[in-house]
Amino acid sequence: MPYTESMTSGPVFPREVCVIGGGGHVGLPLALTFADSGLKTVIYDTDARTVETIRRGIMPFAEEGAPELLRRVLDGGLLDVTETPERMSECRFLVLVIGTPVDEHLTPSFTALNRAIDSCANSLRDGQILILRSTIFPGISEHIQKDLTARGLDIRVAFCPERVAQGHSLREIRQLPQILSAFQPETLAAVRDLFARFAHEFIEMTPMEAELCKLMTNATRYIQFAIVNQFYTIARENGLDFNRILHGCRHKYPRMEGMPGPGFAAGPCLLKDTMQLAAFSRNSFPLGHSAMLVNEGLPARLVELAQRDLDLSQKVVGVLGMAFKAESDDPRDSLSYKLRNLLALETRRVLCTDPYVPDPTLVPVERVLEEADVLFLATPHRAYRELRIPEGKVLYDVWNWIASAPA
Ligand SMILES: NC(=O)c1ccc[n+]([C@@H]2O[C@H](COP(=O)([O-])OP(=O)(O)OC[C@H]3O[C@@H](n4cnc5c(N)ncnc54)[C@H](O)[C@@H]3O)[C@@H](O)[C@H]2O)c1
């Protein structure tokens, strides 16, 4: 029975869910999960090329388990894909999951969100529930609720943040407890029913609590990475092998179990969301800002540490891995590119490679291994685990990934 028929009052909608921004890294796995749960789902995305790719049954980016699922829900008639907003008027639930960047001042930019609401306005219908799924600045749910009401629309807003790790979304969407928030108990109950189609545990909060919860989660991870990256730099600057120290910290010592290893803390979320929290605290967030200095400064520290050993100016240098994290094809906000740009100023030539990132400036790994004198491991892809570094080449491996591979 379609979800909408179970509602005893209010308008009946022919479809259950429209995911606005449904072609994106968060929106698409979520839309596939809704459709896989038997809900008639519409993807609306303004990127016509992405829409066409999805419509043809092809995933526009790497996501575990998604290619098979996409074909299945398309064949089953549960998923429609469109680049225009009209179809959203048919849907009871609208799930908005577009990018929420910070601007050149590192403060949240609301342009995309405002534009999205404006461009959807003519397709909104009384009785719909708009679920915000993007990571948003605290207070934005209330702001959007007021905006819709001021437009004369009887639409209820909920905020249910996405918490999956990109690449593992389909598994995590079903496993993780869902954070749910809304302004009325009946809206909360409706979104709980919706997410109960695939999730099993719910945490209910006020929208403001949920907005802060999501930002604080990402800021915590960002700060944790910064702590260990700072420790790595301290050890290396004093001529010590940080991996030996890290092993001593963590080995069979429960209170240090969560300590990550060093490496690039990059990508489209962690820095951006730490800066959203900094903006919310009116730039009184010294931990967050310090974390930014450490994490964003790591590529420069690595270059400086290498320059202590070698005169890089005459060297050809190779960067292994350009995605922002391992096993991903996503180069958004990857610190590998920052490292490349720094090395370009300090060396004879830089060659970059990645097994997944579709970037025409990259070259095959074999060529990097052959031509580079010095190698930096920037992204610890599995493909590099067993990499044989040719005799005479110098490897800098902040992740301790290749160096720890079995001989
Ligand atoms: N990427 C992650 O791992 C992750 C995890 C949790 C939360 N988030 C949050 O989710 C949000 C989306 O991130 P993402 O990585 O999926 O971004 P993305 O850029 O991959 O996807 C956004 C999609 O929205 C589309 N879009 C933009 N404006 C639109 C509009 N007005 N109408 C319809 N479609 C529009 C874009 O074409 C794009 O396909 C962000 O707030 C992010 O912080 C991301």
Backbone angles phi, psi at 391, to 5 degrees: -50, 135
Question: Which of the four pLDDT bands, split at 50, 70 and 90, describes residue 9?
Answer: low
Does ligand 1 come within 6 angstroms of the Cβ of 47?
Answer: yes
Question: Which of the four pLDDT bands, split at 50, 70 and 90, describes residue 406?
Answer: very low
CA gap 120, 86 in Å, rounded: 8
Query: Which of 269, 273, 275, 276 gets mutated to test ligand 1 (max ligand atoms within 8 A of its CB)?
Result: 269
Q: Would you state the pLDDT for residue 11?
A: 81
What is the pLDDT averaged over residues 21-28? 98
Identify each DSSP E strand in 207-348 by its residue range. Answer: 316-320
Identify each DSSP E strand in 230-325 by its residue range. Answer: 316-320
- The continuous run of DSSP H or E covering 350 comes out as strand 349-353
Q: Which of 354, 344, 341, 338 is nearest to 315 (CA)?
A: 344
Q: Is the pLDDT of residue 363 over 50?
A: yes
Does ligand 1 come within 6 angstroms of the Cβ of 29?
Answer: no
For 68, the token pair is 């098979």
* Cα–ligand 1 centroid distance for 109 (angstroms): 14
pTM for this predicted structure: 0.95
Does ligand 1 come within 6 angstroms of the Cβ of 82?
Answer: no
| Residues 24, 97 contacting (CB under 8 angstroms) | yes
- Give the nearest ligand 1 atom to 50 CA: 39
Of 74-83, 101-110, 262-271, 317-326, least confident by mean pLDDT is 101-110
For 286, the token pair is 């010294």
Does ligand 1 come within 6 angstroms of the Cβ of 70?
Answer: no
Q: Is the pLDDT of residue 280 over 80?
A: yes
Q: What percent of the chain has pLDDT over 70?
A: 97
For 237, the token pair is 């600057």
Q: Would you state the pLDDT for residue 28?
A: 98
Q: Residue 377 CA to chain centroid, in angstroms?
A: 21
CA gap 322, 384 in Å, rounded: 12
What is the pLDDT averaged over residues 322-326? 98
pLDDT tens sequence across 235-249: 999 999 999 999 999
Residue 244's CB: how many other CB atoms inside 10 A?
10
CA gap 301, 196 in Å, rounded: 47
Q: Would you state the pLDDT for residue 5?
A: 42
pLDDT tens sequence across 82-133: 999 999 999 999 999 999 999 999 999 999 999 999 999 999 999 999 999 9
| Residues 169, 26 contacting (CB under 8 angstroms) | yes
For 376, the token pair is 């930096």
CA gap 125, 234 in Å, rounded: 58
- Give the nearest ligand 1 atom to 119 CA: 31
Question: Which of the four pLDDT bands, split at 50, 70 and 90, describes residue 403?
Answer: confident
Does ligand 1 come within 6 angstroms of the Cβ of 218?
Answer: no
Q: Is the pLDDT of residue 6 over 60?
A: no
**DSSP characters over 10-62:** S---SEEEEEETTTSTTHHHHHHHHHHTT--EEEE-S-HHHHHHHHTT--SS-
CA distances from 254 to 2, 108, 220, 222, 248 (A): 48, 37, 19, 21, 12
Q: What percent of the chain has pLDDT over 90?
A: 95
* Cα–ligand 1 centroid distance for 308 (angstroms): 41
* Cα–ligand 1 centroid distance for 164 (angstroms): 13
* Cα–ligand 1 centroid distance for 9 (angstroms): 33
Mean pLDDT of all residues belonging to the chain: 95
* Cα–ligand 1 centroid distance for 174 (angstroms): 19
Backbone angles phi, psi at 117, to 5 degrees: -65, -45
Q: Would you state the pLDDT for residue 2?
A: 42
Q: Would you state the pLDDT for residue 316?
A: 98
| Residues 55, 73 contacting (CB under 8 angstroms) | no
Does ligand 1 come within 6 angstroms of the Cβ of 236?
Answer: no
